[in-house]
């Protein structure tokens, strides 16, 4: 059993601010037109935010609405907006029910905890949620687990959080919620006082926290980011479906872990690969409609549900894909 480490970033981190802006804008389009096709990218930092991407929709989201979203999430007023329609060459493949892009999507589930997530990732995320409840700013948590002796090493850096208070929160979190672990080392704001964060200190870009959005570094990542994309983009919808299948196959076959791999070609509706690895045994995936339309209908992905996915990760948070 190997030592494992995972991190989580707070909703106030610059990259997460960009994810949140992109997904809030996606929801605005879906509220007006559930068939909206969106690929909205955000880059921001140091008093400026740039919104770009492609949108084809029957509804209109005004520049004023976009600026309101940016202001509410990031408190930035200087916003540059450049959104165009989806490329007709991409649209011709999606119009016939095909995937909106090629790609490989990974779904994973294990029996480390009730959320069926890798334990090091689960602990880092749960700790981040707790600290963010006290200090809703930029922040990071990181947990290293030695599964043999249950020693852990914890890093917790949060903007505007006094180091001594931060240490108390971390110690209390593990004593009350996960007492089996022994804190071997604890590093709170190890670089010193942290008072300047978010877009004021750093720049961010949509889709730059893929490991945090998925399962941490233990599990392979297919490659595609999620935020700002509607469900015709299989790098989002098929990743969600792969997670749902992994959870259900783990429950069906038992064992410790299940990894699901789906692969698509742009413009084609059927996956080129659909396999599950359950504790080393390759299982054929059957009984699911894995076309983009089938996934969208099964998981009800035309609803404006995405702003919540960009807060603390996309898996194990009570969404339809589990």
Q: What is the pLDDT of residues 224-256, one digit of tens each?
A: 899 999 999 999 999 999 999 999 999 999 999
Look at residue 223 in the predicted model and tell me its pLDDT.
75
Q: What is the pLDDT of residues 143-157, one digit of tens each?
A: 999 999 999 999 999
Kindly give the parts of the chain with pLDDT less than 70.
none
Cα dihedral 33, 23, 99, 287, rounded to 10, equals: -90
User: How much is the pLDDT for 194?
Assistant: 96
CA atoms within 13 A on the CB side of 33: 13
Between CA 264 and CA 273, with CA 269 as vertex, the angle to 5 degrees is 35
- Residue extent(s) of CATH 3.30.300.10 domains in the chain: 4-10+126-199, 15-94
Six-digit token pair at 37?
Answer: 């096709």
Q: How far apart are CA 37 and CA 58, in angstroms?
A: 10
- Note the pLDDT of residue 92: 87
Hey, which residues does 151 pair with through a beta bridge? 146, 182
Quick one: CA dihedral 219, 225, 227, 231, positive or negative?
negative
Query: Which residues, 6+ apart, have CB-to-CB distance to 282 below 8 Å?
Result: 275, 276
For the chain, how many residues are written? 322
- Rounded Cα distance between 144 and 292, Å, is 37
Q: At what angle do helices 234-253 and 292-299 cross, to 10 degrees?
A: 70
Q: CA-CA distances (angstroms) from residue 322 to 19, 24, 46, 92, 107?
A: 20, 21, 36, 32, 11
Sheet holding 204-205, edge to edge: 78-84, 48-56, 37-45, 204-205
Q: Could you confirm whether domain 4-10+126-199 is CATH 1.10.3720.10?
A: no
Q: Which two tokens stand for residue 235?
A: 């790098």
Give the residue carrying structure tokens 């969208």. Answer: 296
State the alpha helices, DSSP H only, in 159-233: 163-177, 198-201, 210-213
Q: What is the CA radius of gyration of the chain?
A: 20
Which CATH code, of 3.30.70.1400, 3.30.300.10, 1.10.540.10, 3.90.550.10, is assigned to 15-94? 3.30.300.10
The pair of three-digit structure tokens given for residue 284, joined into one six-digit string: 């054929």
Return the pLDDT at 222: 86
- Do residues 205 and 42 make contact, with C-beta atoms less than 8 angstroms apart? yes
């Amino acid at each position: 059993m190997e030592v494992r480490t995972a991190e989580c970033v707070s909703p106030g981190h610059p990259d997460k601010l960009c994810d949140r802006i992109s997904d809030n804008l996606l929801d605005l389009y879906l509220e007006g037109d559930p068939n909206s096709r969106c690929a909205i990218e955000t880059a921001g930092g140091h008093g400026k935010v740039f919104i770009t991407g492609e949108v084809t929709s029957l509804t209109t989201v005004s520049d004023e609405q976009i600026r309101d979203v940016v202001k509410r999430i990031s408190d930035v007023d200087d916003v540059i907006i450049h959104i165009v329609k989806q490329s007709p060459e991409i649209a011709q493949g999606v119009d016939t029910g095909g995937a909106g892009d090629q790609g490989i999507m990974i779904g994973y589930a294990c029996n480390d905890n009730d959320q069926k997530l890798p334990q090091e990732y689960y602990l880092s995320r749960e700790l981040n949620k707790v600290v963010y409840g006290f200090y809703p700013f930029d922040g990071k948590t990181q947990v290293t687990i030695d599964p043999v002796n249950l020693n852990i090493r914890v890093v917790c850096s949060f903007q505007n959080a006094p180091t001594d208070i931060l240490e108390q929160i971390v110690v209390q979190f593990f004593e009350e919620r996960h007492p089996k672990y022994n804190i071997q080392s604890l590093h709170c704001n190890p670089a010193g006082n942290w008072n300047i964060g978010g877009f004021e200190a750093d720049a961010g870009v949509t889709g730059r926290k893929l490991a945090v959005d998925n399962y941490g570094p233990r599990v392979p990542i297919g490659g595609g980011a999620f935020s700002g994309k509607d469900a015709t983009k299989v790098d989002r919808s098929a990743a969600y479906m792969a997670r749902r299948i992994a959870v259900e196959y783990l429950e069906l076959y038992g064992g410790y872990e299940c990894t699901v791999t789906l692969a698509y070609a742009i413009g084609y509706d059927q996956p080129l690969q659909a396999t599950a690895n359950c504790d080393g045994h390759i299982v054929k995936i059957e009984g699911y409609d894995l076309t983009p339309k089938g996934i969208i209908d099964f998981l009800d992905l035309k609803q404006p549900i995405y702003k919540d996915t960009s807060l603390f990760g996309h898996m194990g948070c009570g969404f339809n894909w589990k």
